[in-house]
Structure formats: C-alpha cells, structure tokens
Copies of this chain bind each other. A is one copy, B any other.
Amino acid sequence: MKEYCGIFGIYNNPNAAYYTYLGLYALQHRGQESAGIAVTDGNRIDYHRDFGLVFSVFNSERLNSLTGHVAIGHNRYSTSGASDSPDNVQPIVVSYKLGQMAIAHNGNLVNAWELREKLEDEGSIFRGTTDSEVIVHLIVKSKKRRFLERLMDALSKLKGAYSLLVMTNKKLIAIRDPWGFRPLCMGELDGSPVFASETCAFDLIGAKYIRDVEPGEVVLIENGEMKSYRIPAFESAKRSQCIFEFVYFARPDSKIFGRSVYEVRKAFGRKLAKEHPVDADVVIPVPDSGVVPSLGYSQESGIPFELGLIRNHYVGRTFIKPQQKMRDIGVKVKLNPVPELLKGKRVVVIDDSIVRGTTSRKIVRMIREAGAKEVHMRISSPPTKWPCYFGIDTPTKDQLIASTHSVDEICRYIEADSLGYLSIEGMIEAAGGSWEDYCTACFDGNYPVDIPETVVRQAKKE
C-alpha cells in the first residue's frame, strides 16, 4: 500500500511524451518497479505503462506512438518484492461521465481504507489496491458540477500525503496536499509549464525551476492559462514537509522544498560532527546515501574523508543467493572495503539511518575485519522510532531497533565503539527551517495527521 513514486508532467509541448520519458528517467531513483506515461492530444488520452525500469518499459516505437501536447508520467516503487497487480500500475486512466482522466500519485493517504469503504458502500468498484483509485472515485462521485469543484470536493476529504498530477483532455492539474509531505516542483521549458517530484528532472530536459507547488495548492492549467487555488478544508494544516526526503530519498543534485538536498545533507553531516565529535583518522561513508553527510562531517571535524567502502554498480534483484551450507556473503554483494584505508585506523563511518540494525552490524564487522582499530558509527538523522504512514516504507515499530533499544544498546548490538545520532533539533536547524516546516514523525511520533487505529493495525499485519 505504500507508494514511493516519482511523478512528472508537461503542458503544451510538441514532445510531451519524450520529455516525460526523460523526466521519469531522471526520477528513476524514486521508483524502479513500474513506469507509465499518459498523453493527450486534446481529444483522447493514450497511454503505455508496464512493470520495469523506464528504459525497459519504453522503446522508441512505443514512445513515438504517444502523440499529444500534454503528458504525465509515473515511476513506482514497490515496498515488497511480491509481484503486484497490473491494475496498480500508474498513471491510472479512466473514462467517466465527464470524459477521460489520468492520474499520477506520489504519497500515501491515511484515510484511504475508510474512504474506500464508504465509496464501495455507495457503489464504487475498485480494480487495484492503490490509494490513487480512491481519489479518482471521489472526483467522479462528487455531486458538484464542474470539474474543479469536484476535484476540490474530493481533495477536501483526503488525509495524508499526496502530490498529484491529474490530466483530462483539456487540463493539467498539479496538486500538493495541505501538509506538503511530498515534494512537487514547478518549472518551465520554452514556455511550457512542467512539474516534477524533484528538480533533477528539470535539469535533464533543460527546464528552469520556478517554484514549488505550495502545500495545499492546486495549480490548474487550461487553455494555456495557469490558475492557482487552495484546498479549502485544511487552511490550518501544519506544514509538514517530509524531512526524510533530505536524509535519504531525494537525489543530492535536486532541490526540494526550496532547498538544495546536497547542502542540507552536508549540513546534517556538519551538525553531526559538532554533536558527536570523535578522535579519529578517517571518515568514510556508507555509499551512496552516506557520502554527502560524510563530506560535511569531514569538513567540520577536519578528519580526512575517504571512500573506504566501494559499492558494486551492478547490484540487481536477480542475484543468486549462496546455498545455506556456504558462508553468508551478506552485505558484501553490495559493498567492499578498501583495507589499505582502514588498517590500523580509527574509522568514523556515516550512514543516513539505522532501521533494524542488522546491516549496520555487518558493515561495522566488515570494517573491523579490514583492519580498523576503532569503528565509530554516526547517523545523519535521529533514531528512527516510529513508522511512517505518509509514503516512506518503514517497518512496524517493533522492528525498528531504535524503538525498543537505547542508543547504547544499539551501539553494542552493531558492535561499534561509539554511536552518535543527529538530534532532531540539529536536523531541523540544518534543514534551515523550524518545527513549523517539517514532519519529523518517524523520529518523534508527532504525526501531523491522526493515524486511524485500523491503519496502524493494518501496517502491523503486512
């Protein structure tokens, strides 16, 4: 049910589908399970979508067949390896009373099941299991007459995270939930408005970043005109941009929430160095997410930075595991130490977060086996103690080691000589903001939206 995704949209461009392809390619890190593009020529929405990476889902024949001037695209991440239904692949394209509509959704609604039940009670039919179908049904079911009213009506019922692109044969609409959980950027390419989860998509196509779609904003483009509206019901919603996007998810060359991911991530590392200094000989990252904070830590502490762990570029899903009688190759499939850098050294190793602790433990051991004298683990975010219900895949509370163990205990478990987490205050400060700006629920349990009991239970069962 969790939905990490990358979304992209473009209005009024003769190469709409191709630019969407490029945009999705730049956003591939946000979702590798499926990809899709829907395009309209003003009369008919056409689409292609399938499981796989962007470049395997599309070939030039397929892409060229998607003619039209407006397009939206979607990359999807699967939280489990389990095979998923083709009915869940986005963009969803439907036909209803007012014509055709396509939708691409990044986020996770906390009241999706509740809404779904109500909708089913009123006669709605669902084919897949994604939240996105709920949104479509709400729009269609609305008693309002005009499309925009229907849309507003629908949005006013949604609780949780959603960055949305909606396309009809005449309109392109970009929407961000009132809390602003997920990023959504607006840009411009040769006069065409473009939208993307992260600005790295704009860079690839040569578009200019204009501004973010604001939390609670509905940007509607029609007849070449752009208008901005606000989702009515939640005027007082606390701005709650997902700080974890900075920590881990977004690409460092992107700008999200108006800030450079790279700069924020490096500031995390600097702050971490101040909060948890240590006498050491070398700072090494767990690549790739640890690289940028490591640079910050190194610069702040003056301890030299080295690439002490090299990541295999060819890690893939289809790796054949060793049989049980053979020794476990564990994390080595992905990472290999450079012993010359580590032998006899006091090593600071930096990762973005610790979830279950098992990987960190393997990494610490690997560094020690490569000859390190001391291994000091530093984490560029606070202890992850609470599950996320807003679209980032985290396990349930009892599986989060920080939820059940003290920092000391974790340190012992992962067999490090010391362990230091960034503080929440430090993180927020480094992110250049205030408590007013960010969601930090996975660190402090302050969920900006009430989480229904059923959702909590549901998450546990999965």
A residues in contact (CB < 8 Å) with B: 15, 18, 21-22, 25-26, 28-29, 53-56, 58-60, 63, 86-87, 92-97, 120-121, 123-127, 136-137, 140-141, 200, 203-206, 251-253, 260, 262-263, 288, 291-292, 295, 299, 304-307, 310, 312-314, 316, 318-320, 322-323, 326-327, 329, 332-333, 336-341
Contacts and interface: CB of A to CB of B under 8 A. Distances in A.
A352 to B, nearest CB: 15
Contacts of A333: 25, 204
B295 A299 contact: no
Given A18-B323, A320-B21, A127 B92 contact: yes
B305 A55 contact: no
A305 to B, nearest CB: 7
A29 to B, nearest CB: 7
A127 B127 contact: yes
A327 B19 CA distance: 11
Nearest to A337: B253
Contacts of A322: 15, 18, 22
Contacts of A60: 320
A97 B123 contact: yes
Contacts of A120: 95-97
B96 A320 contact: no
A106 B260 CA distance: 45
Contacts of A96: 120, 123-126
B205 A329 contact: yes
Given A204-B333, A252-B310, A299-B304, 16 more contacts: A18-B320, A22-B322, A25-B314, A55-B318, A95-B127, A124-B125, A125-B125, A125-B136, A200-B336, A203-B332, A204-B329, A206-B327, A206-B332, A262-B338, A292-B307, A313-B313
A302 to B, nearest CB: 11
Contacts of A204: 329, 332-333, 336
A310 B253 contact: yes
A206 B329 contact: yes
A93 to B, nearest CB: 7
B314 A28 contact: yes
Contacts of A319: 25, 55
A369 to B, nearest CB: 10
B295 A306 contact: yes
B304 A203 contact: no
A94 B125 contact: yes
Ranked nearest first, the 3 interchain pairs of A and B with the lowest CB-CB distance are: A253-B310, A260-B340, A97-B120
Contacts of A56: 318
Contacts of A63: 320
Contacts of A26: 312, 336
A295 B291 contact: no
A203 B263 CA distance: 34
Contacts of A127: 87, 92-95, 127
A367 to B, nearest CB: 13
A292 B310 CA distance: 11
